[in-house]
Structure 1
């Protein structure tokens, strides 16, 4: 017989160490912008070393789109010490009076052609990364790719999985139990993960230049000189305008088991896309994309959450999962927080810990293709009209308002917070849920409402507001001291990354054509 929520909590409370030692990592993206708020056209700053090999500072899609990566931390304070140190160093070494754009949607961009693809050197590995981005540009355009987000990597402690077996009545053991547990978490995230953009989405408005003259069915309103917005939107970054891929809607990625997930991803990698076939793969001897499939590589699979495993050299993500199971999950539905100089707050992390643990504890039935489509539609509704007081969401046969779903979820999260805080967390989880939960019934407290309220009250544009914040945060970041690392540490990392890239380039023996052929042959192997 299935245990109720209180019984599950009782088991966890009796095994108090089961939830001690979450693993956490943050990846924060940020555009480099010029003093006038326009996109930087300068190359990757030399002080940041090799974008291909640096451990903490790289680039994402564009040369101007920085990505800061923390090590894994078991302590939230340490996690933010890492993140602040990276930002401190970066702020001090930005060139040409540039600053970091503090919101998810891009700054003013005159033309997509002004967006230079990220450069990773002359090695086959680096060339493949740039070629993959060339494919993204030709498939979807560059504007979509310079949207910034924050990714949160999360792992439950090894001690939790025996407790997980008990509360779910599972006979699985070892890595099988762990993988099944993470996939249960993932499925519940698809059910209830709309709460993340509802609570923390901060992109209800965007610069009209983002559309580049393209038509949209969204009923935008205008404010200021060139800002457009939706009155109830939470995260346009996650809308059809943003970081999505409509050609993937029919892929039916299955999250009911590792084998099903890997098989469905590999099937997607072989699915042909007529619209991409028209592009061709090569033109005039130069690659325009890696291939003409729906997905060039696994990274092109857009999802709000991903099961992950640290890869070995030469291994694809699905090969790592297939051989050794799931090690952690990656949350990809967080907007950059404009009210934080590092793009995310400790309170958000505390809420995510609580919510993700709840997702792992709750029963999580398999999800059909129809359910998966429905949960995706729920998310789409939330990101465009999540603060609409008349909005109703249906989940697993029950229909309720956002406020009603929020009240139910809050009651369970509060009970879980009490248990987690008994493990020496000094009531950080109770404090997080107490501060954040009122947003369910008072949408004006959400991040999206707060940022939109500032824009409308001033009848201004989001660009000047973001530029003002970027310059304010740069000053604050430069003035704050290091907590863990030092200038010497980052100088050493710069040199090590440049030397590592040089070695990779010098040891390449294959032509890029042969390298790519070998890569896809190896990717076929289980």
Structure 2
């Protein structure tokens, strides 16, 4: 069951460390008015400068704020950060403004040139204009939850100490382990799409006239109809990853390396060429739709599942190098099929999904992760057995006249009211000061919560 490295971790009773991934979250949402249309209000000045504030910034549109948490040692800590920053954003919105809780945008104007691109400085603005020329406005509007994962340093040190013949330095260990993780997440992305897909329909004007979907699907955002460039990465190793993206830029498929928006991205040196020699610092996972049942777009149990999956993957054997692209290309095709299935129908890959979740359950039991993980897996197994319990299928219960607007507005108003009723109103971004993670923690929680990191 375990790889050589996995067995080493297990034998040294360090398995718990494999679940101790440091986790950061990035959540995009659309600003809307009280009627459910894209907001016409300017970017909220009370959250500071969108170009320099590391915790609340902006994305594709001027109306797409993105909340970013500091790295946290536990899923619960990450969620507390996210709730605090999300509340800060909500309380800074103009009167009547709300945050749209769905991944797919609200109704877009028939003339999409009226949408305002984010004002992130001349270089980024030039990039966005070129991006729109190539892909159009709609493709940039779906929002999602991104998870940044970094491996516990104890694991890296232990592997280097025990296998000096395989790895010359820490950078080689990190690049190897992060590559294994990336391969695994791409390989099993389709399960995440099935379990957490929550974008079954699109609102008015997302699709061009005559190109609308014939029926709801599990996840528009994770399907060929979703976000941006359909350019696949090469996860054979870090150098192959870099070479593939650079080739895409050279051939004009990508505007720049920044445009690579694969389901998993290696993050480290901002100069992509230097990434193999300076090393991967963390993975960015980009495969989660917003969860509208949470005011912050993601639930704690979802983060725990991602951590469990990452722990399992790092303990498992790597794919043979000459098999990586074949296996991951096949996995992308499975994800495509799963993403466009009707949400209420049993998946073509139900048996395979059941088998994989049972494998995770045995793994969780073997390493004694605890009852909360057993409960999570039991709930997810029920989603595979009964597709009506999946997020996308549940959303279909609220569709009226081909729209989720009424449901989304009801949720948005409820979440906004809750934020405005919070006891501690955070105002630390108003003067434009750039807060460190430590300063953010001190001002955000005001003694009410004490994350274990920092």
TM range (shorter): 0.7 to 0.9
Per-residue CA deviations over 1:89-147 (Å, capped at 9, x if unaligned) read 11111014110000000101122112111113xxxxx1001111111111111111111
Distance in 2, matches of 1:391 and 1:78, equals 34
Aligned partner of 1:355 among 306, 309, 313:
309
Counterpart for residue 387 of structure 2: 443
Greater shift in the superposed pair: 9-18 or 261-270: 9-18
Task: Tell me the SS of whatever aligns to 1:268.
Answer: helix
Counterpart contact for 2:135–2:228, Cα < 8 Å = no
Aligned partner of 1:383 among 339, 344, 349:
339
The structure-2 alpha-carbon separation of the partners of 1:419 and 1:299, relative to structure 1 and needing over 3 Å to count, comes to: farther
Distance in 1, matches of 2:430 and 2:288, equals 31
Distance in 2, matches of 1:12 and 1:132, equals 50
The structure-2 alpha-carbon separation of the partners of 1:135 and 1:421, relative to structure 1 and needing over 3 Å to count, comes to: farther
Greater shift in the superposed pair: 376-385 or 156-165: 156-165
Counterpart for residue 475 of structure 1: 417
1:141 aligns with 2:136: yes
Greater shift in the superposed pair: 13-22 or 408-417: 13-22
Mapping for residues 115-514 of structure 1, pairs under 5 Å: 115-120=115-120, 126-161=121-156, 171-172=166-167, 174-213=170-209, 215=211, 218=213, 220-221=214-215, 230=216, 233-246=217-230, 248=231, 253-271=233-251, 293-309=252-268, 311=269, 315-316=270-271, 318-365=272-319, 366=321, 367-385=323-341, 387=343, 391-392=347-348, 402-418=349-365, 421=368, 427-455=371-399, 461-482=403-424, 487-492=426-431, 494-496=432-434
Cα distance, 1:407 vs structure 2: 2.3
Counterpart contact for 2:9–2:15, Cα < 8 Å = no
Counterpart contact for 1:145–1:243, Cα < 8 Å = yes
Distance in 2, matches of 1:344 and 1:170, equals 42
The structure-2 alpha-carbon separation of the partners of 1:356 and 1:170, relative to structure 1 and needing over 3 Å to count, comes to: farther
Task: Tell me the SS of whatever aligns to 1:377.
Answer: helix
Counterpart contact for 2:61–2:116, Cα < 8 Å = yes
Counterpart contact for 2:180–2:314, Cα < 8 Å = yes
CA RMSD in angstroms comes to 2.8
Greater shift in the superposed pair: 179-188 or 372-381: 372-381
The structure-2 alpha-carbon separation of the partners of 1:368 and 1:87, relative to structure 1 and needing over 3 Å to count, comes to: closer
Residue correspondences, number: 431
Distance in 2, matches of 1:481 and 1:405, equals 47
Per-residue CA deviations over 1:331-357 (Å, capped at 9, x if unaligned) read 101000011011001000000100122
Distance in 1, matches of 2:15 and 2:328, equals 34
Counterpart contact for 1:167–1:361, Cα < 8 Å = no
The structure-2 alpha-carbon separation of the partners of 1:189 and 1:30, relative to structure 1 and needing over 3 Å to count, comes to: same
The structure-2 alpha-carbon separation of the partners of 1:168 and 1:198, relative to structure 1 and needing over 3 Å to count, comes to: farther
Counterpart contact for 1:168–1:363, Cα < 8 Å = no
Greater shift in the superposed pair: 153-162 or 53-62: 153-162
Using structure 1 for the length normalisation, give the TM-score: 0.76
The structure-2 alpha-carbon separation of the partners of 1:56 and 1:4, relative to structure 1 and needing over 3 Å to count, comes to: closer
Cα distance, 1:459 vs structure 2: 5.6
Counterpart for residue 58 of structure 2: 59
Asked which structure has the greater CA Rg, the reply is 1
The structure-2 alpha-carbon separation of the partners of 1:64 and 1:170, relative to structure 1 and needing over 3 Å to count, comes to: farther
The structure-2 alpha-carbon separation of the partners of 1:323 and 1:39, relative to structure 1 and needing over 3 Å to count, comes to: same
Greater shift in the superposed pair: 169-178 or 293-302: 169-178
Distance in 1, matches of 2:324 and 2:19, equals 33
Cα distance, 1:435 vs structure 2: 2.2
Task: Tell me the SS of whatever aligns to 2:36.
Answer: coil
Distance in 2, matches of 1:403 and 1:169, equals 42
Per-residue CA deviations over 1:439-465 (Å, capped at 9, x if unaligned) read 11211111111111232xx66621111
Counterpart contact for 1:19–1:420, Cα < 8 Å = no
Distance in 2, matches of 1:478 and 1:434, equals 35
Distance in 2, matches of 1:153 and 1:344, equals 14
Task: Tell me the SS of whatever aligns to 1:375.
Answer: helix
Distance in 2, matches of 1:168 and 1:443, equals 45
Counterpart contact for 2:305–2:373, Cα < 8 Å = yes
Counterpart contact for 2:57–2:65, Cα < 8 Å = yes
Using structure 2 for the length normalisation, give the TM-score: 0.87
Cα distance, 1:80 vs structure 2: 1.2
The structure-2 alpha-carbon separation of the partners of 1:435 and 1:381, relative to structure 1 and needing over 3 Å to count, comes to: same
Cα distance, 1:169 vs structure 2: 12
The structure-2 alpha-carbon separation of the partners of 1:129 and 1:419, relative to structure 1 and needing over 3 Å to count, comes to: farther
